[in-house]
Amino acid sequence: MPLAVGKDAPAFTAKDTNGNTVSLSDFAGKTVVLYFYPKDDTPGCTKQACSFRDAQSQYQGKDIVILGVSADDEVSHQAFTQKYNLNFPLLADSDKSLIKAFDVDGGGYAKRVTYVIDPSGKITHVDSAVNTTTHASDVLAALGLI
């Protein structure tokens, strides 16, 4: 069962698409959209990632950071990012520590769950019924931005 709204988001550190170390604390003062997805370059996951890519202009200038997370490694994330021209980082969770911390373990992969984390680190929205095609817009609506 996903973590509840109102809880502090678990602190984390992971490698991004380019091998950079990323921590939740790096984004203090910003809203973080942390979306978990099962696997790079699969139909639903591609639609979901491309929805965020295509909506990037609606997120810019609003102090919102988008981070995708799956159990795929950095090499897989790099190929996925290049193939679909993704314009936000993907986090490699090969050891599934984030998947476990955010309680989205689907038995070897991440369940499709999105957390919105406010600038102080609290979970303000959880979406576990993701529509992969409209997900980026759905998150903006949940934030009251459209």
What residues are annotated to the active site?
A: 45
3-class secondary-structure state, position 68 = strand
The structure tokens listed for 144 are 């009251």
Q: Residue 83 phi/psi, 5° resolution?
A: -60, -40
> What gap in Å lies between CA 51 and CA 73, rounded to an integer?
22
The burial of 23, by beta-carbon neighbours within 10 Å (0-12 exposed, 13-18 middle, 19 or more buried), is given as exposed
Q: Which secondary-structure segment (H or E) carries 142? A: helix 135-142
CB contact at 8 A, 32 and 67: yes
Q: Residue 4 phi/psi, 5° resolution?
A: -90, 150
